[in-house]
Structure 1
Amino acid sequence: MAPYRRPLACVLIALAVVLVATVLAAFRWGGPDGGLVVLDQVGRHFVALGWLSLAALCGAVLLGVRRPMTRVTVGVPVLALGAPVMCIVSLLAMLDGGQERAESLPAPGRDDRRLVVETGSAMIDPLWFVYVHQGTWPRERRWAVGYFNGDATDNELREAVWTGPDRIRLTTSGGVLHEVTVAPGGRPDRTVSAGW
């Protein structure tokens, strides 16, 4: 066996562990309720990170195991379990549709707070997600302000604006106004939901 194969296999295993730990950290410390924005962005790529982890594990088996029969004994279960799981996860992620940033409005008189509106879809229904981002990168945090499901046109988000450095007004297509107050740390006093 070539002398570089075992150390390279160890590097591939370490890479797989780091990728999985990164995804777990993103789901633990990212998200809409005070989570770190940078980890939320990493968490959105969990499918790609999962496929890379599986490829790294398969490469480690091919490089690190000497005997062909042992290679098959270890490699087939890894691939037989990992590939179907990742295919299902990939399919579910495609059906989810994801979210895209539509607007980012700085708070008046503050450079450390932004109102972010993201759009998405649930099959055919348009969705809007409204967040407050507080702080600067890499410690910028994200707080959920509102969720709007356009299944009924009256629930569509028509406008999301700052009315002050700590006040947000959300308006639906049906004309319903929602006022939300943001605490000094960035947390809104409530999360608005329309059509959910």
Structure 2
Amino acid sequence: MAPYRRPLAIALTAVAGALVAGALAAGLWGGSDGGLVVLGKVRGHLVAMGWGALVALIAAALTGLRQPMARIALAVAPAVLGVPVLLIGTLGALLSDEPKRTQDLAAPGNEGRRLVVERSYAMIDPVWDVYVHEGDGLLERRWAVGTFNGDAPANALGEAVWTGPDTIRMAIGDGTVHEVTLAPGGRPDRTVSAGW
């Protein structure tokens, strides 16, 4: 075996491990219920991370093994098992709509807290998701405050505003007004949903 091959195989395996660890961390701590915003962004790239880990593992197998049959077996096995799963994930990612941020308001008297509204689509129906972001940088957390499916105009989000440093008012198309109060860490006392 060439002297460079073993360290290269170890490095490629480490890259695959780092991608898998990053995907797991994003899955565990990147949600919208108090999850870290930076990991939530990583969570949007899980399919690409899966492809990267698979390629790195196959390259490690091809690079690090001496016997040709062992190389073939270890290169083919992940491809046969992983490619169908990753293709389905890729198709799902291509068909999903990337949310568009339509509002980002700082809380009155609390610069570290923001009200964020994102619009996306569920098939053809407009959907609004309302979040509170608390903190900044790598420790910024995200809390879900409301989700509104605009299939029927009565459930469409008409307004989301701060009424105080710890209070949010959301009005929907039928005139219903929802008030949500936030705890000191940013956690809402409830999550509002309409149209689901």
TM over 0.5: yes
Q: Name the SS of the counterpart of 2:184 in structure 1.
A: coil
Distance in 2 of aligned mates of 1:30 and 1:12 = 26
Distance in 1 of aligned mates of 2:157 and 2:20 = 36
Identify the residue that residue 54 of structure 2 maps to in structure 1.
54
Shift of 1:98: 3.3
The yes-or-no answer on 1:133 pairing with 2:133 is yes
Distance in 2 of aligned mates of 1:93 and 1:127 = 17
TM-score, structure 1 as length reference: 0.96
For residues 25-174 of structure 1, what are the structure 2 equivalents within 5 Å? 25-174=25-174
Shift of 1:120: 1.2
Aligned length: 196
Distance in 2 of aligned mates of 1:56 and 1:174 = 53
Comparing 95-104 and 50-59, the one that deviates more? 95-104
* Equivalent pair of 2:58/2:74 in contact (CA under 8 Å): no
Distance in 1 of aligned mates of 2:54 and 2:12 = 10
TM-score, structure 2 as length reference: 0.96
Shift of 1:195: 0.6
Shift of 1:52: 0.7
Q: Which amino acid aligns with 1:59?
A: A
The yes-or-no answer on 1:19 pairing with 2:19 is yes
Shift of 1:100: 2.5
User: Structure 2: any 5+ residue segments left out of the alignment?
Assistant: none
Distance in 1 of aligned mates of 2:71 and 2:135 = 49
Distance in 2 of aligned mates of 1:129 and 1:94 = 20
Taking only the aligned residue pairs, the percentage that are identical comes to: 60
Q: Which amino acid aligns with 1:10?
A: I
Shift of 1:67: 1.9
Shift of 1:96: 2.9
Identify the residue that residue 6 of structure 2 maps to in structure 1.
6
Q: Name the SS of the counterpart of 2:138 in structure 1.
A: coil
Shift of 1:99: 2.1
After the TM superposition, list the runs of 4 or more consecutive aligned residues in structure 1 that deviate by more than 4 angstroms. Answer: none
Shift of 1:162: 0.6
Distance in 1 of aligned mates of 2:9 and 2:125 = 46
Deviations 1:74-133 (A, max 9, x none): 111111111111001111222332323221110011111000111111111111110001
Distance in 2 of aligned mates of 1:47 and 1:13 = 18
Distance in 1 of aligned mates of 2:58 and 2:119 = 37
Shift of 1:40: 0.8
Distance in 2 of aligned mates of 1:2 and 1:120 = 52
Instruction: Tell me the C-alpha RMSD between the 2 structures.
Output: 1.1
